[in-house]
């Protein structure tokens, strides 16, 4: 397969990953309303995403932007979901 296919696949995967992490918004909303959800899964997701963002930004010779961008929302929404669940 050619590089164009992998570029498109990477960005489609990025969009779906961002959607997956944005789906924490209902849990965060419920947490803030007093209907606390589980905190461990979003915390572990945030930690995992931290590693992937670091990998994407430090990868040499060329940064892996789709990986970094796809996982950045996981840090924000994962930590927010975990903190509001406590």
Work out the mean pLDDT of the chain and round it to a whole number. 94
CB atoms within 10 A of CB 71: 25
Helix (H) or strand (E) holding 13: helix 3-22
pLDDT of the residue at 14: 87
81, with CB counted inside 10 A (0-12, 13-18, 19+), is buried
What range defines the domain where residue 14 resides? Answer: 3-85
Contact predicate 4/19, CB 8 Å: no
pLDDT of the residue at 66: 87
pLDDT of the residue at 16: 94
């Amino acid at each position: 397969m050619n590089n164009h296919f992998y570029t498109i696949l990477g960005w489609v995967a990025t969009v779906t990953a961002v959607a997956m992490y944005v789906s924490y918004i209902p849990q965060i909303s419920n947490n803030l309303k007093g209907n606390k959800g589980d905190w461990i899964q979003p915390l572990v997701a945030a930690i995992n995403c931290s590693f992937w963002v670091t990998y994407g930004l430090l990868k040499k010779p060329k940064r892996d932007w789709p990986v970094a961008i796809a996982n950045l929302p996981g840090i924000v929404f994962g930590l927010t979901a975990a903190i509001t669940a406590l």
